Amino acid sequence: MCQFADEQNLIVITKDEDFRNSFLLSRTPRKLVKIVLGNISNQILIELIEKNLPLISKLNNENGFYLELSEYPSVYTF
């Protein structure tokens, strides 16, 4: 999945810690949004992504980034 996302210049959105580890160790996937709010409803997830869509859109112009979406989002770009 990481290779496909990188080849297609896609953003991976996940709650899976393995993607975070892959990004930190190998810089793949190059564009990663990690949800770190535990069990939340689909509606809250949609609202969280919609709220942060302007930031995600801006980051999409970067070569690569890691965004943690939580109560207080944090970003790493390269």
**pTM (predicted TM-score):** 0.89
Q: Give the count of domains, the chain.
A: 1
**pLDDT band, residue 39 (cuts 50/70/90):** confident
Is residue 62's pLDDT more than 90?
Answer: yes
Alpha helix (H) residue ranges in the chain:
2-7, 17-26, 42-59
Distance CA 32, CA 15 (A): 10
Its domain, for residue 45, covers: 2-77
Which CB contacts under 8 angstroms, 24+ apart, belong to 13-17? 13/49
Give tens-digit pLDDT for 13-30.
999 999 999 999 999 999
Distance CA 45, CA 31 (A): 19
